Structure 1
Amino acid sequence: MTRPTDREELARFGYEPSFERRTNRFASFAVAFAFVSIATGIFTTYGSVLNSSGPLGIWTWPIAVVGQLAVALVIGTLASRIPVTGYAYQWTSRLANPVLGWIIGWISFMFLAVVVVAVDYTVASTVLPVMLNYSSTTGTVWLITAVILLVQAVLIATSTRWTQRVNNTAVSAELIGMVVLTVLLLVVAAVRHQMDFGNLWSRGAVPAEGYWSLGDWTSAGPWVLGFLLGAFTIVGFESAANLAEETNDPERVVPRAMWQAVLASGVLGFLFIVAVTLAAGDPVALAASGTPIADVIERTLGSVVSTLLLLLVVLAIFACGLVIMLTGTRLTWAMSRDKRFPGWSQWGQVSPRFGTPLKATILYVVLAEIILGVFAAYSQDALFTLFGAATLLPAVIYAATVALYLAKRKSLPAGGRFDLGAWEIPVLVVAVVWLVFELAVFRDTSFADAWLYVLVMLVAGAIYLTALLLTRGRQALDMPDMHSIDAEFDAEPDQKVRS
């Protein structure tokens, strides 16, 4: 049977091609891997795990990886069946109903708008001051982050090809750099007798009493908080699905890119964490540092290698923010194409000169700069608040997506080239158990500001959704061509022109 052309494939969902398909297999993997960015996540959150859970908290990482891998496999099935830009927004709108789809799309937009700020803020607040040996201030951090956001936006707005080239280079460097660093740490620490295997089982300064407790209604136990290391880092793999309309053979390439990115990040990230922990020395003293990873590298491998590590982290963080912004602009464009985003007539355009959603990129970076200003000005711990929101939101999105798959797995569109087969039920069980547990962690009162951000953005979205329904009616949220799978299955047999 002849495979449908790109135009025929998109026509199934009511669209015409808007982008060139230039994203190959490695570029798709690089997008997913860059968003996950183990260098960024581990460098940023390892210190908080030392303080909340001690070194023993690193053993939550493999559990988080298994849970996120199960989620990635479920989402990969949806991405293969509905290979359209907009990912969770598209899947929910077509498999559940357009109103719920809009809500998930808005939550996804909220996540992407805040996480790019959180990631870029890390460079200015924790990496560059150490690397260049200067004291940062709130104003300095704000200015540097704002400039980084602007540079990323200019690159995305003017050239998708160069955006992917920069990202491919950064991901290659991160993969090679993390492997080399891990090996060097293990070898040099062993030769110098600096390995302390007791660190792998140490609680550091965290009291033994109640360590394994799940917590109460408003707090999570010390060991449970260690899951934030994996929960924050192993996210964003679904970003490859948001470039489906720019990817060659997306039904096959995108799902593979997602699960391969999670697996590669999980294995390499854990080996690196173990190596750092073995060479950590006194974990209690290390927990007091603002840059514990850099401290361990410098003490074990010297200042030159430590500086190279920081340079690698800067490159990885820039690529991570770049991919996040790329994903956010595509989601904004996709919702605007369906006339379902505020100001859609402007943001749904593709620049004839650059072949990119230029105006959607401008909107996205302006909003990111506003979020940066608000958090920097009014939050006493802006970085933790940003990361809290950036960890909470994807958990909500994943939970909604997996629940959708559970409800609609028997009626998915035909034609997908990725299927779980006999592993479907076990994978679903793992994904559901993991997501329920992960969401329970966020009952801790330390995430109050993160919940406040979610609430404010949800209220803003609800106001717009209400206005949309009042001015344009229920049909304003209908999807092109295919309103929902339910509608198709309710139709008469002779009206079912697609399967």
Structure 2
Amino acid sequence: MSTPSQGDAGQLAELGYDQELKRDIGLFSVFSIGVATVAPVVGLYAIFSLGIQLTGPAWILMLLLSLAGQLTVAFVYSELASEFPIAGGPYHWTSRLAGQRFGMVTGIIYALAVTAALATVAYLAAPWVCLLVTGAEPQGINRALIAMGLLLAALIVNSCGIRVVAVLVNIGIAAEVIGSLGIGVVLILFFKNQPFTILFDTMGTAPTFATFLTALAVSGWAFVGFDASASVAEETTGARSNIPKAIIGATTAVGALVVLVAGAITLASTDLASVVSGGIADPVTAVVTGSLGSWSERPFYAIVVTTFIACIVSMQAYTGRIVFGLARDGVLPASRRLAGVSGASKVPVAAMTLVTVAAGLALLLGLDDKAIGTMISFGTLGLYATFFLVVAAALYARFTGRWRPDGAFRTGKIGDALNVVAFVWLTFETVNIAWPRAELSPPGASELLVWAPLGIFILVALFAVIAVSRIHRKDPA
């Protein structure tokens, strides 16, 4: 059984906290948690069909642009995580850089956004589980019930400790390698039916500037979650050096896999016109099973289910650490209980239980196929808003002299420029994602549902500001 290194525990003490969580994972495991949370297979399934319908195969250029923008964010996050390796990172970082009230608002928005994202992933996983087991998609309330079952199963795994989580997530990474890298390479090498030049073709979609902006908003959905690595910093050995490596490594690896598979599916398609027109509802599965043969259908379902399960477990783990970090500072109601750590496994079970219950309640929206889209959009918007608040706080602290990076990972002279580029990118992309669009809502959605994600986000932000204003705490900044 490993024990926290004196160096890690001492550094945590310097930041004002005792070592309560078990420091039991290394670089590969924390990297795996980041990759599993971003989940290339999961992310691509969520956006491929919509992206290619908007701008044709050329939508892959929007993926590359989004990846470039998110990499600048990853570098800013890495510097912060290296200097402040604390569970629930963004809340602590912004508290130190821009004041505790700003940090509390950031933390509350962050926790609610990731909880919504967790419910979304469980909801999207349910049909794949049912297809694997029964060969048919779930109907009615069964989809929400399966999703709730996945959340409960994940809670059991998470309650066993971070080492057990790491093992399961590593299995998920193996599935990601097979499902992304393996299948992508095989499709390109042996089943390519389109020329590479097709990746720069809009195929008659006649996209406008607004359409490209919509495609860029959709592409942004694929590159969230790398911050999960930072949230388990107190359980990572050599956190000051390993967390930055994990954040940048996970972002780069996921980006490469998403672009590879998106390109491979496009190149291997035998009826690309139908894919672009929306005539094929699930082009990813259709291309994979059509190329490899019908025998590959169930194994492919198994790979997808495994990646979904790893993503759910990882997301639940890091959302629990966000709540734990807030509760430890007394920000939340019942903070003493939520900041509790279990005896043997040394994980914040109470915090993860709260997250699971909240995500389960959010799944009730799944009873209405149109309403569930609101939760999906809110979760993505909330995550980008958190990115923006963190990067804005870092930029403010840099240029007011409140912070100069002093961790094990530093970007040196280009750090200020990277921070500025990340700020500009997130200002643009957060507004772009927030912009109400009928194309990003379920078919037949009312105008109210089109505007609902932005409206709910504004209400959540106002709630966070009002709640924080009622908490009288000393500002440590």
How far, CA to CA, are the matches of 2:123 and 2:91 in structure 1?
A: 27
Structure 2 gaps of 5+ residues are 439-449
Structure 1 residue 462: Cα displacement: 4.3
* Counterpart check, 1:461 vs 2:464: yes
Aligned residue for 2:437?
445
Structure 1 residue 104: Cα displacement: 0.2
Structure 1 residue 126: Cα displacement: 5.8
In structure 2, the CA distance between the partners of 1:463 and 1:426, relative to structure 1 (3 Å rule), is closer
Q: Is the 8 A contact 1:115 1:387 kept in 2?
A: yes
Aligned residue for 1:110?
112
Q: How does 1:3-22 map to 2 (within 5 A)?
A: 5-22=7-24
Structure 1 residue 106: Cα displacement: 0.2
How far, CA to CA, are the matches of 1:430 and 1:128 in structure 2?
A: 43
Secondary structure of 1:227's match?
A: helix
1:356-410 per-residue CA deviation (whole Å, 9 max, x = no partner) reads: 111112111111101111x22355252x333312221121111111111111124
Secondary structure of 1:341's match?
A: coil
Q: Is the 8 A contact 1:41 1:229 kept in 2?
A: no
Aligned residue for 2:443?
none
How far, CA to CA, are the matches of 1:321 and 1:96 in structure 2?
A: 32
In structure 2, the CA distance between the partners of 1:452 and 1:378, relative to structure 1 (3 Å rule), is farther
Q: How does 1:276-355 map to 2 (within 5 A)?
A: 276-286=265-275, 287-355=278-346
1:66-92 per-residue CA deviation (whole Å, 9 max, x = no partner) reads: 111110001100111111112000001
How far, CA to CA, are the matches of 1:336 and 1:118 in structure 2?
A: 24
AA at the equivalent of 1:444: P
How far, CA to CA, are the matches of 2:467 and 2:422 in structure 1?
A: 32
* Percent of aligned positions that are identical: 25
* Counterpart check, 1:265 vs 2:237: no
Structure 1 residue 162: Cα displacement: 0.8
How far, CA to CA, are the matches of 1:45 and 1:401 in structure 2?
A: 26
How far, CA to CA, are the matches of 2:17 and 2:256 in structure 1?
A: 39
* Counterpart check, 1:235 vs 2:231: no
Aligned residue for 2:190?
188
* Counterpart check, 1:385 vs 2:374: yes
In structure 2, the CA distance between the partners of 1:234 and 1:250, relative to structure 1 (3 Å rule), is same
Aligned residue for 2:396?
407
Q: Is the 8 A contact 2:116 2:375 kept in 1?
A: yes
Q: Is the 8 A contact 2:128 2:305 kept in 1?
A: no
Q: Is the 8 A contact 2:387 2:426 kept in 1?
A: yes
In structure 2, the CA distance between the partners of 1:464 and 1:405, relative to structure 1 (3 Å rule), is closer
Q: Is the 8 A contact 1:205 1:284 kept in 2?
A: no
Query: What TM-score, normalized by structure 1, do the two folds share?
Result: 0.86
AA at the equivalent of 2:50: S
Q: 1:223 aligns with which of 204, 207, 212?
A: 212
Aligned residues: CA RMSD: 2.1
Q: How does 1:51-200 map to 2 (within 5 A)?
A: 51-125=53-127, 128-129=130-131, 132-190=134-192, 194-197=193-196, 199-200=198-199
Structure 1 residue 93: Cα displacement: 0.9
Q: Is the 8 A contact 2:130 2:137 kept in 1?
A: no
Structure 1 residue 414: Cα displacement: 6.7
How far, CA to CA, are the matches of 1:276 and 1:141 in structure 2?
A: 27
In structure 2, the CA distance between the partners of 1:427 and 1:465, relative to structure 1 (3 Å rule), is closer
How far, CA to CA, are the matches of 1:399 and 1:34 in structure 2?
A: 23
Q: Is the 8 A contact 2:51 2:219 kept in 1?
A: no
Q: Is the 8 A contact 2:62 2:219 kept in 1?
A: yes
Structure 1 residue 198: Cα displacement: 5.7
Specify the structure having the higher radius of gyration (Cα).
1
Aligned residue for 2:409?
418
How far, CA to CA, are the matches of 1:361 and 1:130 in structure 2?
A: 28
Structure 1 residue 131: Cα displacement: 7.4
How far, CA to CA, are the matches of 2:392 and 2:172 in structure 1?
A: 34
AA at the equivalent of 2:279: A
Structure 1 gaps of 5+ residues are 214-220, 485-499
How far, CA to CA, are the matches of 2:301 and 2:8 in structure 1?
A: 42
Secondary structure of 1:411's match?
A: coil
How many residues of Structure 1 are paired with residues of Structure 2 in the alignment?
457
